[in-house]
Amino acid sequence: MSAPIRSFLFVPGDSEKKIGKIAGTSADAVILDLEDAVSAGRKPVARQLVSEFIAAEPSAAVGPQLWVRMNPLGTEHALSDLAAVVASRPAGIMIPKIDGPSDVLRVHHYLEALESANGLPSGLIRLLPVATETPLAPFRLGDFAAAGISRLYGLTWGAEDLSAALGASTNIGPGGAWATTYQLVRSLTLLGARAADAEAVETLYVDIRDDHGLAESSRRARAEGFSGRIAIHPAQVEIINAAFTPSSDEVEFAERVVEAFAADVGTVALDGKMLDLPHLKQAERVLALAGRPRSS
């Protein structure tokens, strides 16, 4: 199991200045955005800037994995985005506003053709759908498990486009936490991703000055089973990386658990407590999280 990506930093694809900051980020991955951060008139410029940037950064170089957010299927931009960026070998594509696994399969097939046309290994480019941005999408989160999309990296969720699609005036509940609908789709994303043996990626934290709230909610997300989070500002990256990295105490304990199970037993006692196989699985996950996915 390779270590999951802790932080995905969004970078507007038409901003030369912000793209220029990628070299200095400690994000595990960046997502060069061709969708909502780029106005309709700037799409062609963004496509070209992003393709050239990725092509100039060989994937073996030190630094973050380079992902691209394409425009939604059904828009005039989607196929042009894929056709433009595949040759540059992005690590993955984020697909916004899907209605379910069949949309992701469509992109998978487009990528098979484009990888072949560009002499790239089949399945090289991974996929991360934003799986809750339409009212229909949340009902299909459980269907990823049987969809057999081998290049699926994980699932993430978003509250902004869903609330717009629902005609909601807010996505926040009375206590300041997500309103019920968004808590529901967040949990379904976590369950759907894990059922599909894929990563669950927490949504962005919109208040870029609230470091404490970001740290707190990110730690909670990891405790619930998410393995990484979207960042929208460079200052959020270190906080997210720290929250999704197990502490040295956690790693040490996990090593002791794995060691205790080395004798091929189903139950052991450690520090006076009974541990069985779910604890072993949890410990192995902590050790996987402690490894790092960045190219080195």
Out of Mg ion, ligand COA, none, what residue 90 binds, judged by CB under 5 to 8 A for its kind, is none
Contacted entry of Mg ion, ligand COA, none for residue 10, CB cut-off 5 to 8 Å set by kind: ligand COA
Residue 161 touches Mg ion, criterion: CB under 5 A: yes
Report the residue from 3, 5, 11, 196 that binds ligand COA according to the rule CB under 6 A: 11
Site map 191..230 versus ligand COA, x via CB under 6 A: -------------x---x----------------------
Does the protein bind ligand COA through residue 153 (CB under 6 A)? no
Complex with Mg ion: residue 134 or 241, whichever CB lies closer: 134
Residue 68 Cβ, how far from ligand COA at the closest point, in Å? 12
Taking CB under 5 A as the rule, does residue 75 contact Mg ion?
no
Partner whose binding site includes residue 4, from ligand COA, Mg ion, none (CB under 5 to 8 Å by kind): none
Map residues 36-55 to x or -, x wherever contact with Mg ion holds by CB under 5 A.
Answer: x-------------------
Instruction: Give the per-residue SS3 of the chain.
Output: CCCCCCEEEEEECCCHHHHCCHHHCCCCEEEEECCCCCCHHHHHHHHHHHHHHHHHCCCCCCECEEEEECCCCCCCCHHHHHHHHHHHCCCEEEECCCCCHHHHHHHHHHHHHHHHHCCCCCCCCEEEEECCCCCCHHHHHHHHHHCCCCCECEEECCCHHHHHHHCCCCCECCCCCECHHHHHHHHHHHHHHHHCCCEEEECCCCCCCCHHHHHHHHHHHHHHCCCEEEECCHHHHHHHHHHCCCCHHHHHHHHHHHHHCCCCCCEEEECCEEEEHHHHHHHHHHHHHHCCCCEC
In the complex, minimum distance from the CB of residue 36 to Mg ion, in angstroms, rounded to a whole number: 4
CB of 182 to ligand COA, least distance (A): 15
115 forms part of the interface with Mg ion (CB under 5 A): no
If one asks whether residue 33 binds ligand COA (CB under 6 A), the answer comes out as yes
Task: Catalog residues that contact ligand COA under the rule CB under 6 A.
Answer: 9-12, 17-18, 21, 33, 36-37, 204, 208, 232-234
